[in-house]
Amino acid sequence: MQFEYFNPTQLVFGAGSLVRLGKLAQQYGQRALIVTGGGSVKRNGTFDRAVKSLTDAGVAVFECDGVEPNPRITSVKRGADLARAHQCDLIIALGGGSTMDAAKVMAAAALYEGDPWDMIIHGQPDPYVPTQALPLITVPTLAATGSEMNCGAVISNEDTKEKSFIHNACLFPKVALLDPELTLSVPKDQTAYGVCDLITHITESYLNGATNTPIQDRFAESVILTAMEYGVKAIADGSDLEARSQVQWAATLALNGWVNSGSGGAGFPVHMIEHTISAYHDITHAVGLAIVNPAWMRFATRQNPRKFVQFAERIFGLTAKNPDDVDCALAGIDRFEAFLKSIGCPTRLSEVGINDGLLETYAKETLRIIHDENGNLPAKPAMTEADIIAVLRAAL
């Protein structure tokens, strides 16, 4: 198998490392736009500590607050306007994946005269491909997306009911500053959703049909097992810094390109379907994943059971009768769904108030935004419109 790995982001990890923000920022700019979400960083003191570190290092601070979960293109435009108005030469994201994603696109949009929605892949014939962005530093306060150390961002357009992505090397953060202490205040539900999100980032590549990837498989299993073990501890006791640290490292590793190098090329079908659901219903990303992933697994395992059997054996300790033992594979998926439930994730559309009224629309929209040359959703196996509807029906 041929693959490339590229990740230029400097990773700084450790409890208490927020104090280093100013010195790190100083290397990239003197006028920083600090981007935040709905106020958690103000309430828990993180914002003030970040500003102090920056001003102590001589970096002027301007603010863009109020980025919403499932960040909107309107917030991206507002932030890009603020960056231009204050002549910022650096963007700092202080928050969860939504804040980091919005900040990433702001960094490119600040240097682009057109509409930043042009950059988001949403079925347009000729998406704008940015080649430059302001330098960006990410400081995640929630362990979940891995956005801190990758070049992807997911943005919603509330007017058109679309949620989709950009993936571009110019969006790699210069530095990802990971201080697990900043995640101690994350409530139980968001902690659990973060665990679900990071595990799904792994399963999207691990279960995509690639074979002969023993090193990647064992990395993947290590991240899943660690996230499950320490995720449960972090949910039980949010002040457990050791558990928070392990979960945060797992989240970053799950989507910084390393674990899925050589096995992640088939597409992210669960994410693509989930994005459409949250575009229509503004549900929490990982809630949508917890609903779609087990249903997708049951669909995919019948055509491609081997890796699912391995998943059942190595993650849940089940014993297969043979390498293609579909019953064992399905039992592993049942155990996975039970784990998601046990940490508090809904696993059915009906639990979040979604019925079967728009299943066809969700499938068509997912395929309009991303499809292969045959018009199907890139995945192994590739998914037709009928397949997507069947998976969603199974998830009702």
Q: By CB under 6 A, name the binding residues for ligand NZQ.
A: 37-41, 44, 69-71, 95-99, 101, 141-142, 144-147, 150, 152-154, 182-183, 185-186, 190, 194, 197, 255, 271, 285
Q: Which of ligand NZQ, Zn ion, none does residue 53 bind to, with CB < 5 to 8 Å depending on kind?
A: none
- Given Zn ion, ligand NZQ, none, residue 263, with its beta carbon under 5 to 8 Å by kind, binds none
CA-CA distances (angstroms) from residue 47 to 58, 94, 318, 384? 17, 8, 46, 46
Q: For ligand NZQ, give the closer residue by CB, 195 or 363.
A: 195
Closer to ligand NZQ at the Cβ: 36 or 216? 36
Of the pair 46, 310, the CB lying nearest ligand NZQ is at: 46
Report the distance separating Cα 120 and Cα 247, nearest Å: 29
- Residue 38: which of Zn ion, ligand NZQ, none does it interact with, CB under 5 to 8 A by kind? ligand NZQ
- Please choose, from the candidates 85, 101, 166, the residue with its C-alpha nearest in 3D space to the C-alpha of residue 136: 101
Among ligand NZQ, Zn ion, none, what binds residue 144 when CB lies within 5 to 8 Å by partner kind? Answer: ligand NZQ
Q: Between 269-281 and 359-369, two packed helices, what is the crossing angle to 10 degrees?
A: 120
Residue 69 binds which one of ligand NZQ, Zn ion, none, with CB within 5 to 8 A depending on kind?
A: ligand NZQ
# of chain residues touching Zn ion (CB under 5 A)? 1
**98 near 37, Cβ under 8 Å?**
yes
Shortest distance, position 152 Cβ to Zn ion, whole Å: 10
3-state SS track over 190-251: HHHHHHHHHHHHHHHHHCCCCCCCHHHHHHHHHHHHHHHHHHHHHHHCCCCHHHHHHHHHHH
Tokens of 135: 């330098």
- DSSP class of residue 123? S
C-alpha span between 14 and 219 (Å, rounded): 21
Euclidean distance between CA atoms 17 and 319, whole angstroms: 44
> Which is nearer to ligand NZQ, 145 or 246 (by Cβ)?
145
Q: For the CB of residue 188, give the shortest distance to ligand NZQ in the complex, in Å.
A: 11
Q: How far is the CB of 96 from Zn ion (least distance, A)?
A: 12
CB nearer ligand NZQ, residue 37 or residue 305: 37
Of the two residues 204 and 217, which places its CB atom closer to ligand NZQ in the complex?
204
Largest Cα separation within the chain, whole Å, is 65
Q: Smallest gap, in angstroms, from Cβ of residue 332 to ligand NZQ? A: 23
Taking the complex as a whole, the smallest distance from the CB of residue 24 to ligand NZQ amounts, in Å, to: 20
Q: Is residue 197 a contact point for Zn ion (CB under 5 A)?
A: yes
Residue nearer to Zn ion on the CB measure, 195 or 330:
195
Amino acid at 391: V
Residue nearest to ligand NZQ (CB): 96
- Work out whether strand 90-95 and strand 60-64 pair parallel, antiparallel, or are unpaired: unpaired
Minimum CB distance to ligand NZQ, residue 172 (Å): 11
Buried b (16+ CB within 10 A) or exposed e, 76-104: bbbbbebbeebebbbbbbbbbbbbbbbbb
Question: How far apart, in whole angstroms, are the C-alpha atoms of residue 382 and residue 239?
Answer: 43
Distance CA 100, CA 117 (A): 17
Cβ distance to Zn ion smaller for residue 235 or 292: 292
Strands 10-13 and 162-167: unpaired
Least Cβ distance, residue 95 to ligand NZQ (angstroms): 5
Q: CA separation (Å) from 37 to 95, 96, 357?
A: 6, 8, 33
Task: Find the binding residues for Zn ion in span 284-303 (CB under 5 A).
Answer: none
- What mask, x for binding Zn ion by CB under 5 A, covers residues 167 to 196? ------------------------------
Minimum distance, C-beta of residue 201 to Zn ion, in the bound complex (Å) = 6
What minimum distance in Å lies between the beta carbon of 107 and Zn ion? 21
- Whichever of 197 and 325 has its CB closer to Zn ion, that residue is 197
What does the angle CA 258 – CA 264 – CA 270 come to, to the nearest 5 degrees? 120
CB under 5 to 8 A by kind: which of Zn ion, ligand NZQ, none does 79 bind?
none
Q: Which residues bind Zn ion (CB under 5 A)?
A: 197
